[in-house]
Amino acid sequence: MNKSVLLASALVLAGLSSSAAAAEGWYVRGEAGTTTLEIDGSEGDDDTFSARGGYFFTPNVAVEGFYTNYGDDSGDGVSIKASGYGVGVVGKKNFGPDAHTGFFISGRVGAVHIETKLGVEGVGNAKDTSTEGYAGVGVGYDFTNNFGLSLNYDYAKTDIFDVDAKLKTATLGIEYRF
Residue scoring higher pLDDT (20 or 160): 160
Q: Could you tell me which residues are beta bridge partners of residue 124?
A: 120
Q: Which residues are within 8 A (CB) of 138 and not within 5 positions of it... i.e. 6 or more apart?
A: 105, 106, 107, 108, 150, 151, 152, 153, 173
pTM of the predicted protein model: 0.81
Q: Which residues are within 8 A (CB) of 76 and not within 5 positions of it... i.e. 6 or more apart?
A: none
* Cα torsion 75, 76, 79, 82: sign: negative
CA angle 112, 113, 115 (to 5 degrees): 130
Measured CA to CA in angstroms, residue 36 lies from 42, 73, 108, 131, 157 at distances of: 10, 10, 19, 19, 12
Q: Which domains does the chain have, with CATH numbers?
A: 3-177 (2.40.160.20)
List pLDDT tens digits, range 69-115.
998 877 788 888 999 999 999 999 999 888 789 999 999 999 999 99
